[in-house]
A = this chain, B = another copy of it.
Amino acid sequence: MAEIIQPRVLKGFRDSLPRAEIERAAMIEALTGAFRSFGFVPIDTPVLEYAEILLGKAGGETEKQVYRFADAGGRDVAMRFDLTVPFARFMAEHAGELYLPFRRYHMAKVWRGENTQRGRYREFMQCDFDIVGVDTASADFDIVATIARSMAALGVPGATIRVNHRGVFNRFLERAGVADKSVEALRVVDKLAKIGEPETRRQLAELAGEAAADEIIAFIAGGEAFGPTLERMTRLAGGPNPDSERLAEIYEMAEACGLSGSIELCPSITRGLDYYTGAVFETFLRDLPGIGSVCSGGRYNDLASLYTKQRLPGVGASVGIDRLIAALEELGRSGAKAGYTRVLVANVEPAMAPEYQAAAAALRDAGIACEVYPEPRKLVQQYAYAEQKGASHALIRGSDEKARGLWQLRDLAARSNAEHAGLGSVIAALEG
């Protein structure tokens, strides 16, 4: 016999065992339902692409993390590191086959050779949804509403969507005379939640002087209701403008849909520096703010400029599914279960296997997931297995029950059996 190869996975990679995978599947199903209810459609793209295409826009840090190699044909290929770049390439390539506005969702794995010491994985899932080809408040709001419906579908309690607009912020910086330091100022401001106000103020003063720092701090202060905050921001940005108007429109739609309590205008969020150009969104859990945003996104003014001359403005967001799974676990709201089996049909007499299988088929026809234990064993062992699968009941029939024309239905938690004259009665009891 050959030597045993030690079974192991690569550093930064992991297997997903049934309990984790069942939870992930349930979350993906909930998200899918929410996305579809807004008319988003799914697409898929290859995991491997020409490195030139995936890395066209990427900077140093991304490029270093990408899994890139020469394939057997000598092509320079790479594994996708996000779903945005492939989506841009997809929109450019299939422009003629698609219609605009195009609403798509894409839930799939991506790979980055990240530093695993920071608790990051090198293989993880992204769940993106976008509306491309239109630049209106209605499309922006659709993303906000989709986030809200997704969180509700996931059973995530107390989700608050923080909204801001990069344009309003930039107008303000211009008025404050620090437009030339916009990039650095945005970077400092983005850290507010992490480093606190005093340190933010200190860094801003160092960057733009005391007076500008005070103005910026006044601008980014949060905590008020949407209306007053928007009023203050608008005033500090030099008065009404299309960007502040856009925020007002989004809020009006949220009010009309009963979502005004779920959104918050938060002038300090900026979401990175290059990609987003309009409204930006982050989603925090009231009971677990420290976990960070579980769904973020925003508006960009040109998705696919690298691959086409057609201008494609869009808006979208990405659900942090791994972070949400961690959050739900921490909140004790995890729906993780061991399996789908509701009933284990016990194997008492091997000769009765056809009868067991027929009973299982009848239960399945009634929509009850079940399995036949595939070999005769002590009932206590079969019950233990049923509990490991998360089954609530066992169905038992030996020659004695058969002679009496009965099935025993055992409630595994209560450890009590009930006799039923037929499978119809068993099914009724399970449905009741």
Q: Please report A residues at the B interface, Cβ cutoff 8 Å.
A: 1-2, 4-11, 13-18, 21-22, 24-25, 32, 36-50, 52-53, 56, 64, 67, 69-73, 75, 77, 79, 89-90, 92-94, 97-99, 101, 103-104, 109, 111, 113, 122-123, 131, 134, 136-139, 141-142, 145, 149, 249, 252-253, 255-258, 304-309, 338-341, 344, 347, 353-358, 361, 364, 369-375, 385, 388-389
Contacts and interface: CB of A to CB of B under 8 A. Distances in A.
Contacts of A77: 10
Nearest to A103: B371
19 contacts: A4-B309, A9-B45, A9-B93, A10-B46, A10-B71, A13-B46, A15-B43, A15-B46, A18-B42, A25-B42, A37-B364, A39-B339, A39-B344, A40-B340, A41-B340, A46-B123, A47-B111, A255-B354, A257-B354
Q: How many copies does the complex hold?
A: 2
B307 A257 contact: no
A49 B374 contact: no
B375 A138 contact: yes
Contacts of A44: 15-16, 21, 24
A369 B67 contact: no
A257 B361 contact: yes
B145 A357 contact: yes
Given A73-B113, A136-B375, A145-B361, 14 more contacts: A5-B306, A5-B307, A7-B304, A9-B93, A10-B46, A15-B93, A18-B42, A21-B43, A39-B371, A39-B389, A40-B340, A138-B372, A138-B374, A253-B353
Nearest to A357: B253
